[in-house]
Chains A and B, each alone.
Chain A
């Protein structure tokens, strides 16, 4: 290491390191990462610096009580130095609700993407690995799901489960069961594209020698699928999961906007907009702030997803 002036040492980079390098050079992806970091900061630490009226805030935003704390004599106040984003129809602080609602929206987005990727990978891998009638049945089911517009599926799913789940405790905070319902429904209505990609990847992978070898060594089907096939199709899963978070946040916003999503007592960016359009003219701050936060989050995630796609599969987008 002392004699650095001699020949440059070229170290061969692993595919992952190469991908990381491409990702870091992707300007838009870096911008997206920055945007997302700011948003995470927003939903986690803004409570420290903003002042509320029911309780002195200056602390981590924990419970619904804080976000729901209201003063009906202060309803529909425009943004002011006391309430930077104004107050809503029953006098709740919009800033507080966007902070707390942001935590819930991000929670829903990330969890739903997990459900989506899990279902998609499982169904795609099982269909491709077993082939035959299993493949046929699963793919017909996938096609059928793709042929029903996803928003309708979401609405019907939300109605189907309704408020069937009880409230539950998550990291010391009470959440309505409708949060879980929405997570499961968004996941259950969006796995189809991932299933198709995974299926086509696994179809070609399972013919490779290393799979035959591990089968000859007596590996079980489950072991082959989970340790040999799925890890080799990570790239589309990572990209799919990233974009899945954005789509899940949008999906939550749409169903909540249509009034069948998360119940109003648990604030989310989506249900803050439910009914807000009736105040289009008189109280634009009701819909402007939560809507803009959704836009920024989805934008950031889409930038990152695009960067990941370019980094993980350089052939996929020569010109994008």
Chain B
């Protein structure tokens, strides 16, 4: 070892370096989340009066409406509303009767203390409402993601091993079509073929809406049957893009010197591909998938709407019409947080797999 070589602490203790890195990234993420929450909170101010859109449960008397407005803090300036949303108001007294003196103790604890407030429509805690829908979205999206990964790698690898063959050209054209397809168009086509027409032709047809048939109950078979069409919709469109990605990175890797070396020492073709080429080609693919996963929570808005899947996307759409901003803020902040966390996880995983990458 040359004298005077400078060693960073990361060289001595990789674990410490990693912890340092993660902590630093988390600290950096905090202002970002603040910016996001402020942008969203300001945008939601003009959604209209939540009290006016309460539907049949609007208190008829104007003074009751005023009381409700004061109770929910809607009479306060925007920055006070934001601070209440952020840190709560349980140390203050709210002036509910409008005489200028606060008398009712506030109950909100604020997002920073884990309280996302209550839905203005259902009065249930936002956390609880999201908690009911999140597993449904995750079930749909993770299944779709699994299918997407398997399909993209299979198709991409097969194309890469036979570049510019008829199969590869066919896949190239099809992937452009898949990539250009509007989600709802594909969903409606699939429903039309496999649900409507299959029933007409007396073939076994697939259900189109919901998670299970209420007459049968929530069984595994029912769930699987209801998942086939939405998962196919999501998978076809994403696979189209990802398989191109796998193809081009496999072709890149196959041109590297170490592949030539592996072949030169007499390794069988199939082993070269699976032992040397694929793991290296998969690296950038893992990054892309990792960065995409949190967006999947959101990506299913249209799919969930069409297939009446009771997930977070539908929760969002259902509540945006009623200006239910605690629910909307809750969903969006959860997704933003997931995005930030997955960015860090992806970077860390990447550096673990590829030793050439150093976390700095």
Measured CB to CB, the residues of A under 8 A from B are 28, 140-141, 143-145, 147-149, 151-152, 155-157, 159-160, 162, 246, 250, 253-254, 257-258, 260, 273, 276-277, 280-281, 284, 287-288, 291-292, 294-295, 298-299, 302-303, 306, 317-320
Contact = CB atoms under 8 A, between A and B. Distances in A.
B185 A292 contact: yes
Given A28-B176, A160-B47, A258-B302, A319 B184 contact: no
Nearest to B244: A320
A284 B191 CA distance: 11
Given A159-B320, A254-B302, A273 B179 contact: no
Contacts of A140: 31-32, 35
B182 A149 contact: no
A58 B88 CA distance: 65
13 contacts: A143-B32, A148-B36, A148-B332, A149-B335, A152-B298, A155-B301, A155-B317, A157-B43, A253-B182, A295-B177, A295-B180, A302-B176, A302-B180
Given A147-B339, A280-B192, A320-B244, 11 more contacts: A141-B35, A144-B36, A147-B340, A148-B36, A152-B332, A162-B46, A250-B182, A280-B196, A295-B181, A303-B176, A320-B248
A162 B49 CA distance: 13
Given A151-B298, A280-B191, A144 B39 contact: yes
Contacts of A144: 32, 35-36, 39
Contacts of A320: 244, 248
Interface of B: 31-32, 35-36, 39-40, 43-44, 46-48, 163, 173, 176-177, 179-185, 188, 191-192, 196, 208, 244, 247-248, 251-252, 295, 297-299, 301-302, 305-306, 316-317, 320, 328, 332, 335-336, 339-340
Contacts of A298: 180-182
Contacts of B192: 280-281, 284
A291 B248 CA distance: 30
Contacts of A287: 184-185, 188
Contact of A254 (B31, B176, B182, B320): B182
Main secondary structure of the interface of B (DSSP, over half): helix
A157 B328 CA distance: 13
A258 B183 CA distance: 12
B32 A152 contact: no
A28 B175 CA distance: 13
A250 to B, nearest CB: 6
B173 to A, nearest CB: 8
Contacts of A141: 35
A28 B248 CA distance: 18
- Among B40, B176, B252, B295, find the residue whose CB has the most chain A CB atoms closer than 10 A: B176
Given A257-B302, A277-B188, A319-B251, A148 B181 contact: no
B163 A319 contact: yes
Contact of A258 (B179, B248, B299, B305): B305
A232 B183 CA distance: 36
Contacts of B247: 319
B196 A281 contact: yes
Contacts of A162: 46, 48
A303 B179 CA distance: 11
A162 B47 CA distance: 8
A14 to B, nearest CB: 29
A141 B34 CA distance: 11
Given A159-B320, A273-B184, A320-B248, A147 B336 contact: yes
- Among B35, B43, B180, B208, find the residue whose CB has the most chain A CB atoms closer than 10 A: B180
Contacts of A250: 182
A148 B182 contact: no
- Among B47, B182, B196, B208, find the residue whose CB has the most chain A CB atoms closer than 10 A: B182
Contacts of A253: 182, 184
Contacts of B328: 156
A10 B260 CA distance: 39
Contacts of B332: 148, 152
A141 B244 CA distance: 31
A149 B43 contact: no
Contacts of A156: 40, 43-44, 320, 328
Contact of B320 (A28, A155, A302, A318): A155
Nearest to B250: A319
A147 B185 CA distance: 27
Nearest to B306: A277
B141 to A, nearest CB: 13
B188 A160 contact: no
Contacts of B191: 280
Contacts of A291: 182, 184-185, 188
Contacts of B31: 140
A148 B35 contact: no
B206 to A, nearest CB: 13
Contacts of B248: 317-320
Contact of A148 (B47, B196, B317, B335): B335
A284 B180 CA distance: 21
A260 B318 CA distance: 12
A281 B205 CA distance: 14
Nearest to A246: B180
A194 B185 CA distance: 28
Nearest to A270: B182
Contacts of A157: 43
A218 B44 CA distance: 45
Nearest to A287: B188
Given A148-B335, A319-B252, A258 B317 contact: yes
Contact of A151 (B35, B182, B184, B301): B301
B298 A149 contact: yes
Given A28-B176, A320-B248, A148 B336 contact: yes
